[in-house]
Structure 1
Amino acid sequence: MFTPIQLQFHRTMKKQIRINVDLDHENVPKSIEWDAEDAGETEPAACKAMIMSLWDHRRKNTMRLDLWTRDMTVDEMKIFFHETLITMADTLEKSIADDRIAGDMRDFCAYFAEKMEIATPDEPGT
């Protein structure tokens, strides 16, 4: 009896994310723009700051690229860090399935927001 063989082909996809940084004479970012194939935008999006972390599995360490423009205000930087910390808690919970430690991180985010005097969206009057 002949048994058909089913072959499954998995198509690999590559996507590009582009980051353009315009530097001043002191090598400080004047502007930062980014775009991606799937972003749905026709023009690069401007931003004032970025934090990028890449895990080097061979060296077992993190490579980082933290940039911000001179026109990023202190208040914007506080909010940027707060939102980044919240996102890190979400990512940690998804990646290691430990809601306890992610909850601890979120508690710290609330503490951070209080100390930085940042109004969070879940507070009354914001």
Structure 2
Amino acid sequence: MLKSEINFTIDLDQSRIPEKIFWDATENPNEGINETKAIFISIWDHYHKGLLGINLWTKDMPVDEMGHFAVDIVGNLSQMLKDSTQDPKMISILEDACKQMTNHLKEQEKQDQGKN
């Protein structure tokens, strides 16, 4: 049987707030440990029929990048549903949410540019 591993290492400060997040995987195309600013891990607990999740971000994760990260998560969720359920209603809801979130981020960027 083939196996694949994904590993995370989190450097914490004295208050247990993430300062650095590293990940590595046996099938990592980037070869070697990679640093990231945020992770979003969701696991389906089929026994309890619920979500187990880990959401972490570092102290220096920029707010605008967190917004883009959230848009990408919603887009990825939409694609997962396309691939697994083909449920047009749920896909449409997520795609609409993604568009609204993207428009909101664009408006925020314009406002921020006007301040500079």
Q: Normalising by structure 2, what TM-score? A: 0.86
Shift of 1:46: 0.6
Cα deviation code 1:91-110 (max 9, x no counterpart) = 01111112342122111110
Query: For residues 30 and 104 of structure 2, what CA distance do their matches in structure 1 show?
Result: 36
The one of 81, 84, 106 equivalent to 2:70 is: 81
The one of 21, 25, 38 equivalent to 2:27 is: 38
Matched, 1:103 2:62: no
Amino acid at match of 1:50: I
Where structure 1 has 5 or more consecutive residues not aligned to the other structure, the ranges are: 1-11, 120-126
| Runs of 4+ off more than 6 Å | none
The one of 102, 105, 110 equivalent to 1:116 is: 105
Matched, 1:18 2:7: yes
Q: Secondary structure at the match of 1:31?
A: strand
Seen in structure 2, the aligned counterparts of structure 1 residues 72 and 96 have a Cα distance that, compared at 3 Å, is same
Seen in structure 2, the aligned counterparts of structure 1 residues 115 and 18 have a Cα distance that, compared at 3 Å, is same
Matched, 1:52 2:35: no
Report % sequence identity.
Answer: 30
The one of 65, 72, 79 equivalent to 1:90 is: 79
Greater RCO structure (CA 8 Å; 6+ sep): 2
Amino acid at match of 1:45: N
Matched, 1:65 2:59: no
Where structure 2 has 5 or more consecutive residues not aligned to the other structure, the ranges are: 109-116
Higher alpha-carbon Rg: 1
Verify the 8 A CA contact 1:35 1:44 in the aligned structure 2. yes
Q: CA RMSD in A?
A: 1.6
Moved more, 102-111 or 66-75: 102-111
Q: Normalising by structure 1, what TM-score? A: 0.79
Seen in structure 2, the aligned counterparts of structure 1 residues 72 and 118 have a Cα distance that, compared at 3 Å, is farther
Query: For residues 43 and 34 of structure 1, what CA distance do their matches in structure 2 show?
Result: 9
